[in-house]
Amino acid sequence: MDSSETTDIIISPAEKSANPQLRELEILKSIFQIISSANSLAETLEMVLEFVLTMIDSAVGWVCLHDQDESCYSFVGYKGLCFSNSSGASPCLVSCVCDRVRKTKEVVIINKLTKGCPLLLIKNENEPEELLVGHVSVPLVAKSRLVGQLNIAFNDPQTIHQGDIYLLQTVAPHLAVLIENARLWEELQNKEIRLKKLLNSVVNAQEEERQRISRELHDEMGQNLTSLLIGLRILENSENCTEKENIIGGMARTVTGMISAIHDLALELRPASLDDLGLIPALIQFFSECPDRIGIDVDHQIVGESSRHLSHEAEITVYRILQESLTNVARHAKASKANVILNLGGKSFIVIIEDNGIGFDPKTVNRDHTKVKHIGLYGMEERAALVGGTFIIESNVGSGTSIFVEIPWDESKNG
């Protein structure tokens, strides 16, 4: 929409007019009563919105919610609007001049809706013959972050007064805190759900690993040992030198295979190179084995030098994150190649993993992080967090995936 065609006013906090203090206290008292009596965020916002509309003698309004990037993604409370909430998107913030609220974090009044504004297509459900002509948009800011937007529409621009603007600005901080607290509570609940699923996943993985080791010991190792025992008995009773040589050769090959299998099994349980050689040599060895072990080529680059070290737990974390990330690339990304950058020259140890696979939508993972199929990603994030690090995923469908891991150096070792 062309903002040049719009008559708009920006009202900064310094321009608030003074209203009687008693009225403000009564308003806040009513708001607090609504907040304490409602159960859900949506119910609370609807009740507060209805109260505000009554106070300023309006019939149409809605509340937008903003995500961590301060982009509008849904509206949860609305009154007097005849449109579906199924799309989950705000009717006007996406491509309208009221996006200025997001940029300025100040009240914006649109006195005249211009051609193309979605509000022109929406009628007041109470008075369908009257079209909306403008609206007031008030930022809801908590801890300097825009968490939402309170919008009040009107049929007559003369019905919005400075006192009404001050009322909206009085209510706005309390709605912002309410939305932020609800978001934090939802994050806490989701985190608890993820932790429970992660714990179940870890327990199941441990049990599956025990079963796998048990099968390998019983089937492969057991059969090989039985074969050796039979060979020893035949060797004991054999008097033919050629036959003895053949039996000994077969037994030697069996022992060699067992040694290799035990080496692979021990490597999966705990890479000895991590203790014997250190993190970087162990990772280089792992990268060289990736084509044979997981079926994907891995190029690596080491940037910078450092005399600093990671803690023992952090080294294991970095190794396991790289191990699981590259295994995921081989299994799910349909990639032919992966690149790993190990940056040792910064204030922290940084790992970058990139692939040329099919990619995915990280927002889908963020929305569905409680699902079992995303527990692996959450597990790596939790691994990094446990040693004070960060784990970030960037991906787009069809253009590969990048993973950024940052782990702090161990100051106790570097002091």
State the pLDDT at residue 12: 44
Considering 97-111, 147-161, 338-352, the range whose residues carry the highest mean pLDDT is 338-352
Pairing status of strand 107-110 against strand 337-343: unpaired
**Number of independent structural domains in the chain:** 2
State the pLDDT at residue 44: 79
Phi, psi of 32 (to 5 degrees): -65, -35
Q: Which pairs with CB-CB distance under 8 Å and at least 24 residues apart come from 65-72?
A: 65/147, 65/148, 65/179, 66/102, 66/146, 66/147, 66/148, 66/149, 70/102, 70/145, 70/146, 71/102, 72/102, 72/149
Contact 355, 337 (CB under 8 A): yes
Do 276 and 176 lie in one domain? The reply is no
Do 141 and 284 lie in one domain? The reply is no
Domain that holds residue 371: 272-414
pLDDT bucket at 18, cuts 50 / 70 / 90: very low
Do 48 and 179 lie in one domain? The reply is yes
Do 184 and 309 lie in one domain? The reply is no
Burial of 196 (0-12, 13-18, 19+ CB in 10 A): exposed
Residue 122 reports pLDDT greater than 70: no
Buried b (16+ CB within 10 A) or exposed e, 71-84: ebeebbbbbbbeee
State the pLDDT at residue 86: 42
* Gap between the terminal Cα atoms of the chain: 59
Residue 350 reports pLDDT greater than 90: yes
d(CA 295, CA 286): 12
Do 184 and 333 lie in one domain? The reply is no
Residue 362 reports pLDDT greater than 80: no
**Residue 405 belongs to some domain of the structure:** yes
**Residue 258 belongs to some domain of the structure:** no
| Token couple for 226 | 């039985």
Do 67 and 180 lie in one domain? The reply is yes
249-277 pLDDT, tens digit each? 888 888 888 887 777 776 666 677 787 78
State the pLDDT at residue 348: 92
Q: Is the dihedral of CA 10, 16, 17, 23 positive or negative?
A: positive
What percent of the chain is predicted at pLDDT more than 90? 12
CATH number, position 112: 3.30.450.40
What Cα–Cα distance (Å) separates residue 187 from each residue in 46, 77, 377, 384?
22, 20, 17, 18
CATH number, position 307: 3.30.565.10
State the pLDDT at residue 318: 92
**Residue 316 belongs to some domain of the structure:** yes
Averaged pLDDT for residues 399-405: 92
Averaged pLDDT for residues 157-174: 76
Do 161 and 294 lie in one domain? The reply is no
Do 182 and 278 lie in one domain? The reply is no
Residue 7 reports pLDDT greater than 60: no
d(CA 107, CA 166): 10
Phi, psi of 308 (to 5 degrees): -80, 165
d(CA 358, CA 332): 9
Residue 95 reports pLDDT greater than 70: no
Residue 88 reports pLDDT greater than 80: no
**Residue 204 belongs to some domain of the structure:** no
Domain boundary among 141, 163, 189: 189
Q: Hey, what amino acid is at 308?
A: R
More confident residue, 72 or 223: 223
What Cα–Cα distance (Å) separates residue 214 from each residue in 207, 218, 259, 283?
10, 6, 17, 28
pTM above 0.95, yes or no: no
Domain boundary among 164, 189, 214: 189
d(CA 285, CA 273): 8
Residue 340 reports pLDDT greater than 60: yes
State the pLDDT at residue 225: 81
Do 24 and 152 lie in one domain? The reply is yes
Averaged pLDDT for residues 370-390: 73
DSSP state of 336: S
Q: Hey, what amino acid is at 70?
A: E
**Residue 199 belongs to some domain of the structure:** no
Q: Which pairs with CB-CB distance under 8 Å and at least 24 residues apart come from 257-264?
A: 257/224, 258/220, 258/221, 258/224, 258/225, 261/216, 261/220, 261/221, 262/221
**Residue 241 belongs to some domain of the structure:** no
Do 171 and 307 lie in one domain? The reply is no
d(CA 206, CA 347): 35
167-199 pLDDT, tens digit each? 888 888 888 888 888 778 877 887 777 777 766
| Token couple for 77 | 């409370």
Residue 90 reports pLDDT greater than 60: no
28-77 pLDDT, tens digit each? 777 777 777 766 777 778 888 888 888 777 777 888 887 776 666 666 66
**Residue 92 belongs to some domain of the structure:** yes
Domain boundary among 189, 204, 225: 189
pLDDT bucket at 370, cuts 50 / 70 / 90: very low
Residue 308 reports pLDDT greater than 80: yes
Do 180 and 288 lie in one domain? The reply is no
Cα torsion at 281, 283, 288, 293 (round to 10°)? 140
State the pLDDT at residue 130: 62
pLDDT bucket at 302, cuts 50 / 70 / 90: very high
Residue 223 reports pLDDT greater than 70: yes
Considering 71-75, 168-172, 324-328, 379-383, the range whose residues carry the highest mean pLDDT is 324-328
Do 178 and 32 lie in one domain? The reply is yes
**Residue 301 belongs to some domain of the structure:** yes
